[in-house]
Amino acid sequence: MSTLPHPPRQLYYDGQVQPATSGKTFTTIDPSNATPLAEIHVASHSDIDSAIAAADRAFPSWSQTPPVARARILQKAAALLREKNDEIARIETLDSGKAYTETSTVDVFTGADTLEYYANLVGGGGLNGETTQLREDALVYTKKAPLGVCAGIGAWNYPIQIALWKSAPCLAAGNTMIYKPSEYTPLHAQTLAEVYREAGLPAGVFNVVYGAGDVGAYLTAHPTIAKVSFTGQVSTGMKVSGSAAGNMKYVTMELGGKSPLLILPDADLENAVDGAMMANFYSTGQVCTNGTRVFVPASWKVAFEKRLLTKMQYIRPGPLFDEATNMGPLSSAIHHEKVTSYIKHGIETDKATLLYGGLGKPQVPKDLEAGFWVRPTVFTDCTDSMRIVKEEIFGPVMSILYYETVEEAVRRANTTELGLAAGVFTKDLNQAHRIIDQLEAGITWINTWGESPAEMAVGGWKNSGLGVENGRKGIEAWVKNKSTLMDMSGAVVTVFAKL
């Protein structure tokens, strides 16, 4: 009998909780105080086979269910998620270390928005094909068909939101899914499965397995899996996409970034500072689209740094359920070690100017001192060759880079192998559009940063990903096309006629 504060998580497939046969478990940890939360049972290869078999059995019926009927189930699931928002958000806070002020207002709601969006899309004819009158007695029509059993591999920074970003279009399109949450934040997965079941989703349509990279590798290489959707770091994504593509599977990859935020000389200072802070410190900087390379006009140096230092005081780490807290710890011990090593490298090797923060932990209550806390950090006078500027840190670390001309800033912004996000702050909207067109990134913002509604297709360029999620374009990643040419002339044109 577990003595941990939350019940153990086993597997979920065929519409119910299932025991794992591996005999292996791991413990998920509260990042704010480094205490155990729950025991998680690891799926064996045999367990994954059973889950995939359940999804495979469910596919024929679910894929043939009329889109409007699928939509009703998913709409009900979205309503249930909103009803259970606070309960789910509390678990997300404990598991991820994010402040409750964030999880209660963003994570569940935005996930439910995506589920509702795709339910409405397919219910309103979003899976309809096209008809083209080729000539008077011939036409071409297209249909969209679901892919089959799909694998979704989640990330630890937005657990339930990403689970919904993957499962919503997958299920709406008529596919079934095996979902593997990150081993660092697994507590949401069974809750989501139970919400789907309560909404009327048939057994086997959404299934959950737990484990680390070896479980993900077996899942993505399985011959029955038709498509893999992965969110995570670039190096892992390359391995996953290589394995999947090598077996002719469909893939969607949402990977890392080192995104540039360009502040133009005519921008509003207050908005620019607020935007830069949101692009670096929200979710403790653990956001793949973060604008961690902040390009600032050289003439702004004194004013920008002065205003930024004033506003850095408004970052408030502390008890995660305190309404005043707006920054939590990093997600895990191993990630804390990674981020602090980058801060150390920035100080000692890159020799960037440390404007704020640095090594050590922020002041938090005594019962939280063992947690994975880090000080929000700002480096200034950075150069493009510094490691802290070139590599994704995935923590609350801002690098300020000064420039002389806008053309120079754009050129330097594009000097990276990554291309997930980019943005510009300026009062000149014509110039904003011109610069956005030059920035090599798949997700861009003008005079704002970070908002990613269900209606907005998002995906990276370069090494930052393949395909898009969300928006009307997002459903295309979960269907395959069938084109038919129908000739109604009553005769077949042939070259094989008697001369």
- 254 beta partners: 231, 465
Q: Rounded CA gap, 188 and 163, in Å?
A: 9
Q: Which two tokens stand for residue 225?
A: 């899996």
CA-based nearest residue to 259, from 404, 466, 359, 401: 401
Residue 313's alpha-carbon distances to 63, 222, 276, 410, in angstroms, are: 53, 50, 15, 31
Query: Between the CA atoms of 218, 180, 69 and 60, what dihedral angle is there, to the nearest 10 degrees?
Result: 10
The conformational region for residue 163 under phi > 0 = left, psi -120 to 50 = alpha, else beta, is alpha
107 in Cβ contact with 207 (< 8 Å): no
Q: Which residues contact 235 (CB under 8 A, 6 or more apart)?
A: none
DSSP characters over 104-162: IIIIHHHHHHHHHHHHHHHHTTTT---EEEEETTEEEEEEEEE--EEEEE--SSSHHHH
Q: Rounded CA gap, 373 and 32, in Å?
A: 7
> Packing angle between helix 159-172 and helix 188-199, nearest 10 degrees?
40
The conformational region for residue 381 under phi > 0 = left, psi -120 to 50 = alpha, else beta, is left
Q: Which two tokens stand for residue 31?
A: 């990042």
DSSP characters over 215-226: HHHHHHH-TTEE
Q: Rounded CA gap, 343 and 145, in Å?
A: 49
Which residues participate in catalysis according to the annotation?
254
Q: Rounded CA gap, 301 and 439, in Å?
A: 23
Helices (H) and strands (E) in the chain, counts: 16, 22
130 in Cβ contact with 210 (< 8 Å): no
